[in-house]
Structure 1
Amino acid sequence: MSFPFDAILFDCDGVLVDSEVVGLEDAAAYLSGHGFAWTTEDFIRRFSGMRYDRFAAGLREAYGQILGRDADEREFEELIDGLIETRRAKRHTMTLVTGTEDLLRMVQGLPGVRIAVASSSGQAFLDDKIDRYGLRPVFGQHVYSADHVSHGKPAPDIFLFAATRLGVAAERCLVIEDSAHGVAAGVAAEATVWGFTGGGHCLPDHAEALIDAGAERVFATHEQLTDEFTNLLSRREAAT
């Protein structure tokens, strides 16, 4: 029995770095001041895992509904710039998701398995998080942002791109994702997708949403993922 995957592709936000939850309450309060009736849960359900362009398009459409007309460029830029700054004001509260370091140490020991980050974040912001939390030695140059591709999640582009850069077939990749948009992207890439609900933003029905989007399995902690990889490796070694 061979190990079932040639590569593991990790989303970053909400999987490795607990960043999705950062500033959400402040963001909801900010939007409330501009006529939005969204809770933090609404924000998560609408936008978690989306690339900036899709997020901006969705926000613009919702703002137009509030205004009863299309928002002009100036007022929309003011809205979205203020929202981004509101969330970034809390970026000092970001941490690694509990168990990330142990999981990555284990994954690095999997024979013949390559690893990469495949994220919806802009490359500059992604690189900052990878470097800030000491993950660069783990992934090296294989840290890929949706800036590299034409279409963001839920399109499969970023996972296909990362698989190509690793030199493996997408069908032989395992994707670890925390968002329904990301799961859908992995499924569209014909990868195996496992959902993850260990981020601080995950809602009580988050696992159900990931299964509905196509995740084969869902893990609540990195300890569970580490145990599963250990089991897969043990079965491989027992069969050889």
Structure 2
Amino acid sequence: MKAGQHELDLIIFDCDGVLVDSEVLSCGCLSEALATCGIELKLADALELFLGRSMAAVLQHYGAQGRMLPDYFLPDLKARVRQAFQASLQPIPGVGSLLSGLRTPHCVASSSDLDRVSLSLALTGLAPHFDGRLYTSQMVERGKPAPDLFLYAAAKMQAEPHKTLVIEDSVSGVAAARAAGMKVWGFVGGSHYESRDGRAILYNAGANRVFDRMADFWTEGQRV
């Protein structure tokens, strides 16, 4: 067992941008789906506004502006995401090897819905590493940045929050982990951070550590 693993009850992985390189694909689909509703949202703005957030947060954002999205919006978006993922979704480099060697209990806690998380893990071959230990914002009252989802996952996994490590790529996810009383490492190896200073963004959000390669997950001397 790598140094540091014995100090943990649980490692919680976000899915999008941490296990699978999906954020640019999904935010691009969101921009396209909103365009059919007469709403312009550039990809960079989609990443800024909704990275790590649930679909409920999208609906609330536009609802607060008095812009109620039509009934066809969600089915259209879901179809676009499924098509894009089936065509182009890739796992984050090195994450399969990391998970294969992981001896600490681990699970997924994602703002995406369960169908999308399951699809993402199946398409990228990562599903066997989690054996159904998937928790999503659909299962709790409040999504990230509230701590509800991470606390729910820890309870289901019978883990103490202060002995839980969260791996996140978004400000809302880092904030949720901190609010849950958990350690959190920021991951900036996804393609959505190629033109943004992800390290500064996630450190400023409160991440205990930020890294950009899954091969460096357990660096020599790294303490949890």
- With structure 1 as the length reference, what TM-score do the two structures score? 0.80
The one-letter code matched in structure 1 to 2:139 is H
SS at match of 2:165: strand
In the superposition, relative to structure 1, how do residues 23 and 129 fare at CA in structure 2: closer, same or farther (>3 Å)?
A: closer
Contact 2:89 2:124 in 1 (8 A): no
Q: How does 1:12-161 map to 2 (within 5 A)?
A: 12-25=15-28, 27-28=30-31, 31=34, 35-62=38-65, 64=66, 70-71=67-68, 76-92=70-86, 93-108=88-103, 113-161=104-152
**CA RMSD in angstroms, aligned pairs only:** 2.5
Matched, 1:224 2:216: yes
- Cα deviation for residue 27 of structure 1 reads 4.2
Partner of 1:205: 197
- Cα deviation for residue 171 of structure 1 reads 0.9
Contact 2:20 2:91 in 1 (8 A): yes
Moved more, 187-196 or 26-35: 26-35
SS at match of 2:112: coil
The one-letter code matched in structure 2 to 1:127 is S
In the superposition, relative to structure 1, how do residues 82 and 125 fare at CA in structure 2: closer, same or farther (>3 Å)?
A: closer
- Cα deviation for residue 14 of structure 1 reads 0.7
Consecutive unaligned residues in structure 1, runs of 5 or more: 65-69, 236-240
What CA deviation, in whole Å up to 9, does each residue of 1:155-189 have, x standing for no partner? 11111111111111011100000011111100000
The one-letter code matched in structure 2 to 1:90 is A
In the superposition, relative to structure 1, how do residues 142 and 29 fare at CA in structure 2: closer, same or farther (>3 Å)?
A: closer
Contact 1:23 1:89 in 2 (8 A): no
The one-letter code matched in structure 2 to 1:77 is D
The one-letter code matched in structure 1 to 2:211 is F
Moved more, 2-11 or 190-199: 2-11
Matched, 1:190 2:171: no
Moved more, 46-55 or 82-91: 82-91
What CA deviation, in whole Å up to 9, does each residue of 1:180-227 have, x standing for no partner? 1111100000000000011111242222121121111101111121x4
The one-letter code matched in structure 1 to 2:48 is R
Return the alpha-carbon distance in structure 2 between the equivalents of residues 25 and 51 of structure 1. 15
Return the alpha-carbon distance in structure 2 between the equivalents of residues 99 and 41 of structure 1. 26
SS at match of 1:21: helix
In the superposition, relative to structure 1, how do residues 107 and 188 fare at CA in structure 2: closer, same or farther (>3 Å)?
A: same
Larger Rg: 1
Q: Which has the higher helix share?
A: 1
Consecutive unaligned residues in structure 2, runs of 5 or more: none
Identity, in percent, stands at 34
In the superposition, relative to structure 1, how do residues 130 and 190 fare at CA in structure 2: closer, same or farther (>3 Å)?
A: same
- With structure 2 as the length reference, what TM-score do the two structures score? 0.86
Return the alpha-carbon distance in structure 1 between the equivalents of residues 9 and 26 of structure 2. 36
Return the alpha-carbon distance in structure 2 between the equivalents of residues 137 and 23 of structure 1. 23
Return the alpha-carbon distance in structure 1 between the equivalents of residues 125 and 74 of structure 2. 30
Return the alpha-carbon distance in structure 2 between the equivalents of residues 126 and 219 of structure 1. 23
